[in-house]
Amino acid sequence: MILVTGGAGFIGSNFVLDWLAQSGEAIVNLDKLTYAGNLENLASLQDNPNHIFVQGDLGDSALVAQLLAQHRPRAVVNFAAESHVDRSIHGPEDFIQTNIVGTFRLLEAVRAYWLALPEADKTAFRFLHVSTDEVYGSLTKDDPPFAEDNRYEPNSPYSASKAASDHLVRAWHHTYGLPVVTTNCSNNYGPYHFPEKLIPLMIVNALAGKPLPVYGDGQQIRDWLYVKDHCSAIRRVLEAGTLGETYNIGGWNEKPNLEIVHTVCALLDELRPKADGSSYATQITYVTDRPGHDRRYAIDARKIERELGWKPAETFETGIRKTVEWYLANSDWVAHVQNGSYRDWVSKQYAGSVA
Ligand code: NAD
Ligand code: DAU
């Protein structure tokens, strides 16, 4: 049995679905169900006794202690976080509470549980912390990609809160011996991605005939990884990662945002052509840039390949086609996540330019 936090979010739910499809080992899934948590992602597990869902906060020490005592997991995988940079700019408080205070409380509850385990279980136990490449800051065009020994230089409230959580995890290993591993991953994309993030927002807006809001000049670069590749990397690190180490996970797919948007438009033109024959690209609109916008992220993923034999299975071309096809086939999911709070967010963030 393993315990995951945040398993109703984008990456967490993909991880839970893949885990249960590939192993007979049960999962306790602790998720607060914020606006980003969606049990519909896990609907196919409704009758699966190996999925135990618990609604709650990773910072609720009593609840976490009770779950650990009751289910006795051999590992904890911490996905739960506030994850959207733009939201962190509008309101950083939740990011501090969940990403920093929540991780601290989770570490303390896990440490107490781990200390009391029998010696063999104690040795085998793992705490895997899921983090981001954004902790390393921003690269120029010619900088080498982020390696694990890069300085931490977070630039947004979100990345600062994730950096703080990484430091706590590191300290709990160094000081208390908690058996931790940390992963720092690049931008994920794929099924169940909440449409506040670039790729799903572009798909959803394009189909709705709305503007496609590109921040600034659209030349910011991200390194895209298909979410199921991220999940397989986490499984591999959990299985064989060296304690106290960090592993960078990336897709070797550096692309400027504008190219991503044009790729999405071209796929939609092919798979769901507009009645008037025009391209979805005509909907592209340049909007005010994100404050403090990091220019470029890129991951050097050679360590995880060299030490653990992990490589992404998808190219960007195969992954983005699967993603667009998934959104076209799952219009009900999209309609259901676009509830009142989603509409409020869009009108606040884009000040009427997109709604
Ligand atoms: P998400 O926002 O889609 O999902 C986060 C989940 O955590 C939601 O289900 C939410 O309900 C839950 N949650 C939030 N606060 C909670 C709390 N206090 N207690 C319990 N549950 C809580 O995020 P995601 O994109 O799936 O990201 C998952 C993790 O991966 C995060 O830690 C994020 O920093 C990291 N990450 C994400 C990406 C990416 O591209 N999405 C890349 C690298 C790292
Ligand atoms: O790098 C990993 C990170 O990737 C994760 O840690 C974060 O949780 C995840 O949200 C993601 O952060 P980004 O800020 O890179 O993702 P986002 O989808 O918000 O934006 C991707 C790029 O697209 C970024 O340069 C901003 C730009 N963008 C985004 C939106 C939502 C636009 O141009 N227009 C938009 O409307």
pLDDT digits (tens, 9 = 90+) for 283-318: 999 999 999 999 999 999 999 999 999 999 999 999
Q: Binning pLDDT at 50, 70 and 90, where does residue 355 land?
A: very low
Mean pLDDT for the stretch of residues 234-252 = 98
Residue 335 is given by DSSP the state H
Q: How confident is the model at residue 354, as a pLDDT?
A: 52
Determine whether 93 is an active site residue: no
In 230-316, beta strands by DSSP E = 246-249, 254-256, 284-287
Ligand 2 atom closest to Cα of residue 134: 1
Whole-number Å distance between alpha carbons of 31 and 8: 6
Q: Is the pLDDT of residue 349 over 80?
A: yes
- ∠ CA(230), CA(234), CA(235), 5° rounding? 120
Q: How confident is the model at residue 134, as a pLDDT?
A: 98
pTM of the model: 0.98
CA of 74 to the centre of ligand 2 (A): 33
Whole-number Å distance between alpha carbons of 309 and 129: 20
Cβ–ligand 1 distance for 205 under 6 Å, the answer no
Q: Which of 57, 113, 136, 158 is an active site residue? A: 158
Q: Binning pLDDT at 50, 70 and 90, where does residue 352 land?
A: low
Provide the percentage of residues in the chain whose pLDDT is more than 70.
99
Whole-number Å distance between alpha carbons of 84 and 104: 20
Q: Binning pLDDT at 50, 70 and 90, where does residue 339 land?
A: confident
Ligand 1 atom closest to Cα of residue 34: 11
DSSP 3-state helix, strand, coil percentages of the chain (rounded to 5)?
50, 15, 35
Cβ–ligand 1 distance for 195 under 6 Å, the answer no
Residue whose CB lies within 8 A of the most ligand 2 atoms, among 192, 198, 225, 259, for a mutation test: 198
Residue whose CB lies within 8 A of the most ligand 1 atoms, among 3, 5, 10, for a mutation test: 10
Burial class (CB in 10 A: 0-12, 13-18, 19+), 313: exposed
Query: Comparing C-alpha atoms, which of 102, 233, 86 is closest to residue 165?
Result: 102
Q: Is the pLDDT of residue 168 over 70?
A: yes
Whole-number Å distance between alpha carbons of 324 and 226: 12
Please give the domain boundaries of the chain with CATH numbers for all domains: 2-188+227-250+293-313 (3.40.50.720)
Provide the percentage of residues in the chain whose pLDDT is more than 90.
95
Please report how many Cα atoms fall inside a 13 Å half-sphere around the Cα of residue 189, on the Cβ side. Answer: 30
DSSP string, 2-53: EEEESTTSHHHHHHHHHHHHH----EEEEE---TT--GGGGGGGTT-TTEEE
Q: Binning pLDDT at 50, 70 and 90, where does residue 340 land?
A: confident
**In degrees rounded to 5, what are phi and psi of residue 126?**
-135, 140
